[in-house]
Amino acid sequence: MFIKNTWYVACSASEVSDKPFGRRICNEPIVFFRDAQDVIQALEDFCPHRGAPLSLGRVVDGRLVCGYHGLEMGCEGKTIAMPGQRVGGFPPIKKYAVTERHGFIWVWPGDAQAADLTQMPQLEWADNPAWAYGGGMYHVACDYRLMVDNLMDLTHETYVHATSIGQPEIDETPCVTKIDGDHVTTSRFMNGIEAPPFWKMALRGNNLPDDQLVDRWQICHFTPPSHIMIEVGVALAGNGGYDAPDDKKAYSVVVDFLTPETETSMWYFWGMARRFNVGDAALTDAIREGQGKIFSEDLQMLESQQRNLLRMPQRKLLSLNIDAGGVQSRRVIDRYLALEPAN
Amino acid sequence: MFIKNTWYVACSASEVSDKPFGRRICNEPIVFFRDAQDVIQALEDFCPHRGAPLSLGRVVDGRLVCGYHGLEMGCEGKTIAMPGQRVGGFPPIKKYAVTERHGFIWVWPGDAQAADLTQMPQLEWADNPAWAYGGGMYHVACDYRLMVDNLMDLTHETYVHATSIGQPEIDETPCVTKIDGDHVTTSRFMNGIEAPPFWKMALRGNNLPDDQLVDRWQICHFTPPSHIMIEVGVALAGNGGYDAPDDKKAYSVVVDFLTPETETSMWYFWGMARRFNVGDAALTDAIREGQGKIFSEDLQMLESQQRNLLRMPQRKLLSLNIDAGGVQSRRVIDRYLALEPAN
Amino acid sequence: MFIKNTWYVACSASEVSDKPFGRRICNEPIVFFRDAQDVIQALEDFCPHRGAPLSLGRVVDGRLVCGYHGLEMGCEGKTIAMPGQRVGGFPPIKKYAVTERHGFIWVWPGDAQAADLTQMPQLEWADNPAWAYGGGMYHVACDYRLMVDNLMDLTHETYVHATSIGQPEIDETPCVTKIDGDHVTTSRFMNGIEAPPFWKMALRGNNLPDDQLVDRWQICHFTPPSHIMIEVGVALAGNGGYDAPDDKKAYSVVVDFLTPETETSMWYFWGMARRFNVGDAALTDAIREGQGKIFSEDLQMLESQQRNLLRMPQRKLLSLNIDAGGVQSRRVIDRYLALEPAN
* Alpha carbons within 13 A on the beta-carbon side of A203: 22
Nearest to B317 among A45, A51, A53 (CB): A51
Q: Above 0.90 for ipTM, yes or no?
A: yes
Report the residue of C46, C50, C60, C73 to disrupt the A interface, i.e. the one with the largest count of A CBs within 10 Å: C50
pLDDT, tens digit (0-9, with 9 covering 90-100), for A66-75: 999 999 999 9
Q: Up-side HSE of residue C128: CA atoms within 13 Å toward CB?
A: 12
Residue type at position A198: F
Query: What H or E segment, with its residue span, contains residue C290?
Result: helix C281-311
CA atoms of B110 and A237, how far apart (whole Å): 83
Interface of B with A (CB under 8 A): 149, 153, 155-156, 158-160, 171-172, 174, 300-301, 304-305, 308-309, 311-312, 315-318, 320-323
The predicted pLDDT at position B68 comes to 96
What phi and psi, each to the nearest 5 degrees, are found at residue A22? -105, 140
pLDDT of residue B26: 97
SS3 A241: helix
pLDDT score for B321? 84
Contact C251, C233 (CB under 8 A): yes
Task: Please state, as a whole number, how many other Cβ atoms lie within 10 Å of the Cβ of residue C201.
Answer: 17
- For residue A322, give the nearest of C52, C65, C69 by CB distance: C69
Residue A193: per-residue pLDDT: 97
Least CB–CB distance from A51: residue in B153, B158, B308: B308
Alpha carbon distance B256, B225 (integer Å): 12
Sequence-ordered alpha helix ranges (H) in chain A: 144-151, 157-160, 168-172, 197-205, 281-311, 324-339
Chains that touch B (3 or more CB pairs under 8 A): A, C
Contact A85, A101 (CB under 8 A): no
**Residue C149's closest chain B neighbor by CA?**
B50
Q: What is the pLDDT along chain B (343 residues), one digit of tens a residue?
A: 899 999 999 999 999 999 999 999 999 999 999 999 999 999 999 999 999 999 999 999 999 999 999 999 999 999 999 998 899 999 999 999 999 999 999 999 999 999 999 999 989 999 999 999 999 999 999 999 999 999 999 989 999 998 899 999 998 998 999 999 999 999 999 999 999 999 999 999 999 999 999 999 999 999 999 999 999 999 999 999 999 999 999 999 999 999 999 999 999 999 999 999 999 999 999 999 999 999 999 999 999 999 999 999 888 899 888 899 999 999 999 999 999 997 5
| CA dist., res. C113 & res. A161, Å (int) | 38
DSSP one-letter string for A168-213: HHHHHS--EEEEETTEEEEEEEEEEEPPPHHHHHHHHHTT--SSS-
Using CA atoms, how far apart are residues A296 and A285, in angstroms rounded to an integer? 16
For residue B343, the model assigns a pLDDT of: 56
Task: Mark A314-332 as b/e (b = at least 16 C-beta within 10 Å).
Answer: eeebbebebbbbbbbbbeb
Q: How much is the pLDDT for B322?
A: 86
Flag if B49 and C320 touch (Cβ within 8 Å): yes
What is the percent of chain A where pLDDT is above 70? 100
Query: CA C332 to CA C207: how far, in whole Å?
Result: 41
| 8 A C-beta contact, residue A33 and residue A22 | no
pLDDT one-digit tens code per residue, A120-149: 998 999 999 999 999 999 999 999 999 999
Average pLDDT, chain A: 95
pLDDT of C126: 92
Q: Which of B66, B69, B90 to mutate against chain C (most C CBs within 10 Å)?
A: B69
C69–A316 CB contact, under 8 Å: no
What confidence score (pLDDT) does residue C343 get? 57
pLDDT tens for A100-113 read: 999 999 999 999 99
Q: How far is A94 from chain B, CA to nearest CA, in Å?
A: 13
The strand pairing partners of A218, in sequence order, are: A188, A232
Instruction: Encode pLDDT of A143-200 as tens digits.
Output: 999 999 999 989 899 999 988 999 999 989 989 999 999 999 999 999 999 999 999 9
Q: Give the CA radius of gyration of chain C.
A: 22
Residue C321 binned pLDDT confidence (cut-offs 50, 70, 90): confident
Q: Beta strands of chain C (E only): which ranges?
A: 8-12, 21-25, 28-34, 40-44, 58-60, 63-65, 72-73, 79-81, 95-101, 104-108, 132-140, 176-180, 183-193, 214-223, 227-236, 249-262, 265-274
Nearest by CB: B67 against C301, C317, C320: C301
CATH class of C132-339: alpha beta
- Cβ contacts (< 8 Å) between A312 and chain C: which residues? 46, 51
Contacts of C263 (CB under 8 A, 6+ apart): C27, C143
Chain mean pLDDT for chain C: 95
Tell me the average pLDDT across C75-102: 95
Q: What is the pLDDT of residues A200-251, one digit of tens each?
A: 999 999 999 999 999 999 999 999 999 999 999 999 999 999 999 999 999 9
Name, in order, each residue with C-beta under 8 angstroms of B180's C-beta and a sequence gap of 6 or more. none
CB contact under 8 A, A52 and B171: no
Residues of chain B with CATH 3.90.380.10: 132-339
Query: Can you tell me the distance from the alpha carbon of A134 to that of A316, in angstroms, rounded to the nearest whole number?
Result: 38
Q: How far is CA B130 from CA A148, B125, B217, B275, in A?
A: 70, 8, 21, 6
Q: Which residues of B touch A29 (CB under 8 A)?
A: 308, 311
Going by their DSSP bridges, the two strands C63-65 and C72-73 should be labelled as antiparallel
Residues of chain C with CATH 2.102.10.10: 8-119
Considering only CB atoms, which chain A residues are within 8 Å of C73?
Answer: none
Position A205 scores a pLDDT of 93
Helix or strand (DSSP H, E) at A22: strand A21-25
Residues on chain B touching A67 (C-beta within 8 angstroms): 159-160, 301
**Minimal Cα distance from A310: which residue of C?**
C51
* Confidence band for C84, pLDDT divided at 50, 70 and 90: confident
Is A308 in Cβ contact with C70 (below 8 Å)? no
Nearest Cβ partner for C56 among A174, A300, A315? A300
Name the CATH architecture for the domain at A8-119. 3-layer Sandwich (2.102)
Nearest to B158 among A49, A70, A85 (CB): A70
In chain A, residues with a C-beta closer than 8 Å to the C-beta of B321 are: 84-85
Which residues in chain B have Cβ-Cβ distances shorter than 8 Å to C160? 67-68
Q: In angstroms, rounded to a whole number, what is the distance separating the alpha carbons of residues C309 and A109?
A: 44
pLDDT tens-digit readout, C156-171? 999 999 889 999 999 8
Number of residues written out for chain C: 343
With a CB cutoff of 8 Å and minimum separation 6, the contacts of C50 are A149, A305, A317, A318, A323, C68, C69
C-alpha distances (whole Å) from A61 to each of A19, A52, A65, B135 are 11, 21, 10, 38
Using DSSP's 3-state secondary structure scheme, residue A262 falls into strand
- Closest Cα of chain C to B271: distance in Å? 32
Beta carbons within 8 Å of A338's beta carbon, 6+ residues apart: none
Which of A27, A43, A63, A68 would best serve as a mutation to test chain B binding (most B beta carbons within 10 A)? A68
Q: Which of A108, A94, A143 is nearest to A267 (CA)?
A: A143
Res A84: pLDDT? 85
> Which of C320, C323, C330 should we substitute to test contact with B (largest number of B Cβ atoms within 10 Å)?
C320
SS3 assignment for B280-326: CHHHHHHHHHHHHHHHHHHHHHHHHHHHHHHHCCCCCCCCCHHHHHH
Distance CA C236, CA A124 (A): 88
